Amino acid sequence: MSVEHSSVQIRPVREEDRQAVMDLASLLREGVPEWRDPEAVVEAARQWLAGHFAPERDQPGAAFVAEAEGEVAGVVSVSTQRHFTGPMEAYIGELAVAPHAARTGLGRRLLSAAEDWARQQGVSHMTLETAAGNTTARRFYAAAGYREEAIRFTRALDQPA
Ligand SMILES: CC(C)(COP(=O)(O)OP(=O)(O)OC[C@H]1O[C@@H](n2cnc3c(N)ncnc32)[C@H](O)[C@@H]1OP(=O)(O)O)[C@@H](O)C(=O)NCCC(=O)NCCS
């Protein structure tokens, strides 16, 4: 599947995109709380994204990049999983757009590509998680029609309540 719009192309990820995609993963530290290691978050994202490249492609799902003027400027990964209430649904693993291309609509187009993929899988909902402190992502998803569904609480046990 390929979607062309002006000079931007949204297309499935290819092996030659690997370095650019790994570089984009460093953006996924946005909003990580101080009690988590941002490098560990980025490394985990890199490993999940690496699962979308051949030959070690072992991940069910898809990944798309935004190619603008010959350069990869954004990436999204999507898969399916079962919600604990029973139905299968789609899940955005990672979404990142290079700062120089921010706010030009690439994030929205990548999200649309992931949603199209999800519809093709026959699922009725897309879901994702992002850091509570990632206000940009929260605004982005809210603007795209996403509603906040759950809140995760964390407390350090060696500190007073
Ligand atoms: C979140 C992210 C993917 C958005 O990508 P983007 O390409 O800049 O977003 P778009 O240009 O498609 O924006 C679509 C809409 O989202 C909202 N939005 C995006 N960035 C915003 C910001 N910084 N502040 C407020 N609203 C914002 C706006 O409504 C925007 O529409 P508008 O520009 O017409 O007002 C990008 O900021 C990013 O890569 N962040 C770092 C990585 C990250 O946090 N990923 C999400 C974690 S899962």
Around Cβ 133, how many Cβ atoms within 10 Å?
12
Q: 9 has which bridge partners?
A: 4, 67
> What is the predicted pLDDT for the residue at 25?
98
> What is the predicted pLDDT for the residue at 13?
97
For ligand 1, the distance from its centroid to the CA atom of residue 139, given in whole angstroms, is: 7
Of 116, 115, 119, which is closest to residue 128 (Cα–Cα)? 115
> What is the predicted pLDDT for the residue at 60?
81
Assigned token pair, 134: 């990632």
| DSSP-based helix, strand, coil % in the chain, nearest 5 | 35, 25, 40
Q: Are 30 and 36 in contact (CB under 8 A)?
A: no
Alpha-carbon span 151 to 61, nearest angstrom: 26
For ligand 1, the distance from its centroid to the CA atom of residue 111, given in whole angstroms, is: 11
Assigned token pair, 24: 């984009």
Alpha-carbon span 78 to 115, nearest angstrom: 9
> What is the predicted pLDDT for the residue at 130?
97
Q: Quote the CATH superfamily of domain 3-143.
A: Gcn5-related N-acetyltransferase (GNAT) (3.40.630.30)
Mutate to test the pocket of ligand 1, among 24, 111, 112, 140 (most ligand atoms within 8 A of CB): 140
Alpha-carbon span 89 to 149, nearest angstrom: 14
> What is the predicted pLDDT for the residue at 146?
98
* Weakly modelled stretches of the chain, pLDDT under 70: 1-6, 55-59
Ligand 1 binding pocket (C-beta < 6 A) is 27-28, 30, 95-97, 102-108, 128, 130, 134, 136-137, 139-140, 143
Domain boundaries, the chain: 3-143
Ligand 1 atom closest to the Cα of residue 131 is 47
Ligand 1 atom closest to the Cα of residue 31 is 44
For 125-159, what is each residue's pLDDT tens digit?
999 999 999 999 999 999 999 999 999 999 999 99
> What is the predicted pLDDT for the residue at 2?
41
> What is the predicted pLDDT for the residue at 1?
40
> What is the predicted pLDDT for the residue at 3?
41
